[in-house]
Structure 1
Amino acid sequence: MPTLVSSDLYTQVQQFYAHQMQALDEGRLEEYTQTFTKDGSFQHSPDIAPAVGRDAILEELRSFLKKYQDNPTQRRHFFNQMVLEPQQDGSIRSTVYALIVRVRPNERPEVWPSTVVHDVIEVTDGEILLRSRSVSYDQLV
């Protein structure tokens, strides 16, 4: 059985994810990038290299969202089945199932894609930041 984290830490990480995903879904990209360490990495698609550093993450998000500028789409990220595993270096490995619901005006919501989010979390003086995030897509396995 894996080492368990405290229920307080588990709850703090859930709240962190809730705030982080709401920032992303509401287009508050600068706020989202501040949830990463200064040298954090973000890879949201397996066919692109990770963006490293907050400025690069922000640019990657802006570039990705350009494809929706003429096709308004609201995305909602739902994280569940979170597993947190303490690491030797003091970080926490997080594995989360994520469903993304896409909604376009006057259309039915569409669940796409189904993913697994792999994070490395740093907790310093009660502040939670991501050292890295990579996302794998179930349809590509």
Structure 2
Amino acid sequence: MSATAISTDVYTQVQQFYARQMHALDACRFDEYAATFTEDGEFSHTPGRPAAHTRDGIARELRAFHEERFATEPVQRRHWFNMIHLIEAPDGSLRSTFYVLVVTSRPGERQPEIAPSCVVHDVLIRADGGLLNRSRRVEHDYLLDLKRT
């Protein structure tokens, strides 16, 4: 895939898209978050959990995940995206790779937990004057093989 220069306008549009998407996720508005994916979108976020498919499947998966992990413990999670690298593919989609840290705060505790650290791989498409996720694959850093040649 050859790289095409990404305009400042497109880069800004992607950042705004991610801001809207993460505000919905961090507020547990899972249907709104899922609506940022194509109808047949794919979302793979946590090791050991199967990828979710379709908007309904993504919303169901997120509700189940949050119920399993946080039902007995109130938390506020914040997803921080940075180092967004964009490539426009020949088909017009955008390939986005970026870093994410998840910050979890608990009531009464001053020190938040910062984990996991991840790399995210997205395929974004243009639709109706905006962007939608076709797919998202999250790789957790603690599982990476750090042997470098």
User: TM-score band (shorter)?
Assistant: over 0.9
2:103 aligned with 1:126: no
C-alpha deviation, 1:3, in angstroms: 2.5
2:56 aligned with 1:60: no
When the two structures are superposed, what TM-score results if normalisation uses the length of structure 1? 0.96
Q: In the alignment, what sits opposite 1:49?
A: 50
Q: Tell me if structure 1 keeps the 8 A contact 2:39–2:55.
A: yes
Q: CA RMSD in A?
A: 1.2
Secondary structure at the counterpart of residue 77 of structure 2: strand
When the two structures are superposed, what TM-score results if normalisation uses the length of structure 2? 0.91
Q: In the alignment, what sits opposite 1:139?
A: 142
2:18 aligned with 1:23: no
Uncovered stretches (5+) of structure 2, i.e. residues with no partner? 145-149
Partners in 2 of 1:45 and 1:72 — Cα distance?
Answer: 20
Runs of 4+ in 1 over 6 A off after TM superposition: none
Partners in 2 of 1:53 and 1:24 — Cα distance?
Answer: 16
Q: Please give the residue correspondences for 1:1-141 in structure 2 after superposition, counting only pairs within 5 Å.
A: 2-66=3-67, 67-107=69-109, 108-141=111-144
AA of the residue aligned to 2:64 = S
Report the number of matched residues.
141
AA of the residue aligned to 1:12 = Q
Secondary structure at the counterpart of residue 106 of structure 1: coil
C-alpha deviation, 1:34, in angstroms: 0.3
Partners in 2 of 1:7 and 1:40 — Cα distance?
Answer: 26
